[in-house]
A and B are shown apart, each in its own frame.
Chain A
Amino acid sequence: MTRYILGRVIQMVPVLFGVLLLVFSITNIIPGDPVLLMLDVKYSEKEYKEMQAYLGLDKPLYIQFYNHVKGVLKGNLGKSIRTREPVTKKILERFPSTFVLALAAMLIVVIVSIPVGVIAALKQNSKIDYICMIGAEIGISMPIFWLGIMMILLFSLYLGWLPAGGRGEPPDLLHLIMPAFCLATPYMAMTARLTRSCMLEVLRENYIVAARSRGFPEWQIVLRHALRNAMIPVVTNLGLQLSRLLGGALVIEVVFRWPGMGALAYDAIMERDYPVLMGVVLIVAVIFILVNLVVDLSYTFFDPRIRYDTRKG
């Protein structure tokens, strides 16, 4: 197992290098000159040169990239062009917000959709089943930013029940409800549908009939014999979705002014604060890769047929 993890960590190196290169290229391709943003509307050639040198943007691109990579290896993500604060500090300030948002959404997904999917499967073709599945269909087809805006209109502006944005001072649950639900919606829908179909499939398996032939009560068949096997593809999918959910969180943060890394990246783009943007993207990429690793490892818990250290598969 440790060898497997080590291998995966080593694989991260080229991926992260690629990410660095890509982000660096993009920041240099998109229009907008950070030097101009730092200067007065009227500036002299000399002022421009000085500012460029101050920001380290006067050197050739490959030197800039080399310096950037060198900094990253030392754990130094550079300084914000705008505020001159270390990028690491900015990200560390924002990371907990994103984490809390994603975690809350994931919890909602798991707590709501797995029972819903199981019940829909057990009551296949009943009214409950139809209601659940139509709900899921709607949940999947709504873009989350639109849903977010509609929720703000309804719950904040019209009903006045929930705050429209921010995290609260100090952060509270009330501010978390809407963004988390909004972020969770498509994943809830997808997961409920998948849970249902996996349950239906597993319930037709021979070992379920065999378990029934031993006289076990229905709850034992469902909860012990069926659910665990049905969860294998669901957990796989949740794992795959976890990265996408993080991506969705970045969007939701902008809609709800949730002070996380998404909002930070958004502001960085708007202000052409490239070091901050590159830092956020790099950290997000690292998080994606780590999340996927943890998800892969968690399969072994659910499916004993996968054992990374004894088998190749």
Chain B
Amino acid sequence: MADSNILEIIDLRTHFFTDEGVVKAVDGVNLTVPEGESVGLVGESGSGKSMTAFSILRLIPDPPGKIVSGQILLRGQDLLKLPERQMRSIRGKKISMIFQEPSTSMNPSFTIGSQIEEAIRFHQEGRASDVREKALAVLRSVKIPDPRRILSQYPHELSGGMLQRVMIAIAISCEPDLLICDEPTTALDVSTQAQIITLLNELRSQRKTSFLFITHDLGVLSWICTYAAVMYAGKIVEYADIRSLIRTPRHPYTRALIGASPRLDCDRDALSSIPGTVPNLIEPPAGCRFHPRCGRAETICSSQTPSLKEEERGHWVACFTERNGDGAENA
């Protein structure tokens, strides 16, 4: 891995204490985002990707959710130990987030302008006219046509793609070091999707912002990410740079994901074609959580939980059947 990491998540556990039982949405996640890189987090829906992201900003709804243990290090500083006041100066300033559904993520009662200016004003001083100029500048940087008009419009007057651009504008307005994108294109149509990804890629190369990019779309993943982590039922099962992950996937689940998508660049919903369903996170299967759906499961897989091991340089896998370096035979 790179020598300096902007974000390091160590053994994170985020559980939801519901009437039906404890939902272990995030259960021992280890993940690093190297400085300036773009790390993808991929997995079926319900595997805990969003809750991992929400945990980073400490936005887990409490009750019922709680971060039970772990460390989240932003340049070495543990965010989970910060008082709420200090955490607020991290949110939106050091770490920003964009969400899956742009249409419900903007407040319907305020104009776009007032929402952008609110964010800008909050994190930096400046006269009113400066704030407006800054808002226009940031709208221009996300390539919104006629930004002056947009400022006075309400969210319901804009298309999903435009709104997502506005969300990105707000997120980058205070020049964060880390941008978390939680499936930012899932709710958009295909051509808008491509435009948004292109925009994010441009912003990343211009601004040296690091990305944590959540998606369930392998096509998007390979387009924007330099590293990728595969998440399954609350755990990371594989982590590598994007090339080795796509070319030589080691975990059977990753292989199923990739195998299920005939062509990466036109893949839409590969994950749904893997047989079986995501396990119940209240009582997950013992041992490796993927073993009931895994074609290669051995006896050990149902009794012991594999931990994430560096099987090759920079390529981490949590699987017993992949140990002893026989990955090539199945690649």
Contacts and interface: CB of A to CB of B under 8 A. Distances in A.
A and B found bound together = yes
B105 A206 contact: yes
B57 interface: yes
Interface string A197-223: 000000011110111111111000000
A3 interface: no
A51 B126 CA distance: 82
B106 A209 contact: no
A214 B91 contact: yes
A229 B105 CA distance: 13
B101 A215 contact: no
A228 B107 CA distance: 10
A305 B118 CA distance: 21
A205 B106 CA distance: 10
A125 to B, nearest CB: 8
B154 interface: yes
A212 B105 contact: no
Nearest to A124: B63
B294 interface: no
A303 interface: yes
Contacts of A211: 107
A210 B106 CA distance: 7
B138 interface: no
B100 to A, nearest CB: 8
Contacts of A204: 61
A170 interface: no
A82 interface: no
Interface string B213-251: 000000000000000000000000000000000000000
B299 interface: no
Contacts of B170: 214
B99 interface: yes
Contacts of A212: 57, 59, 91
B119 interface: yes
A207 B91 contact: no
Given A303-B109, A304-B154, A205 B104 contact: yes
Q: Secondary structure of the A side of the interface?
A: helix
A266 interface: no
A207 B119 contact: no
Contact of A229 (B59, B107, B122, B123): B107
B326 to A, nearest CB: 44
A302 B108 CA distance: 10
A175 interface: no
A12 B37 CA distance: 66
Contacts of B89: 215
Sort chain B's interface into a size bin.
20 to 34
Contacts of A302: 109
A20 to B, nearest CB: 41
Given A213-B59, A214-B122, A207 B90 contact: no
A213 B57 contact: yes
Q: Secondary structure of the B side of the interface?
A: mixed
A215 B123 contact: yes
Contacts of B97: 210, 213
Contacts of B99: 206, 209-210
A94 interface: no
B88 interface: yes
Contacts of A216: 88, 92, 118, 122
Nearest to A214: B92
Interface in A83-111: none
B122 A225 contact: no
B66 interface: no
B96 interface: yes
Nearest to B84: A218
A65 to B, nearest CB: 49
A217 B57 CA distance: 14
A213 B92 contact: yes
For A213, A217, A305, the residue with the greatest tally of chain B CB atoms inside 10 Å of its CB is: A213
A22 B74 CA distance: 74
Given A213-B92, A215-B122, A207 B107 contact: yes
Contacts of B93: 215
Contacts of B57: 212-213
B115 to A, nearest CB: 9
Given A215-B88, A215-B123, A304-B154, A210 B105 contact: yes
B156 interface: yes
B35 to A, nearest CB: 22
Given A214-B119, A214-B170, 11 more contacts: A205-B104, A209-B105, A210-B106, A213-B59, A214-B91, A214-B122, A215-B90, A217-B88, A225-B107, A228-B109, A229-B107
The 9 closest A-B pairs by CB, nearest first: A215-B91, A214-B92, A215-B92, A206-B104, A210-B105, A215-B88, A213-B97, A207-B107, A206-B105
Interface of B: 54, 57, 59, 61, 88-93, 96-97, 99, 101, 104-109, 111, 118-119, 122-123, 154, 156, 167, 170
Interface of A: 204-207, 209-217, 225, 228-229, 302-305
25 contacts: A205-B104, A207-B104, A207-B107, A207-B108, A209-B59, A210-B99, A210-B105, A210-B167, A212-B59, A213-B59, A213-B91, A213-B92, A215-B88, A215-B90, A215-B93, A215-B123, A216-B88, A216-B118, A216-B122, A225-B107, A303-B108, A304-B108, A304-B109, A304-B156, A305-B154
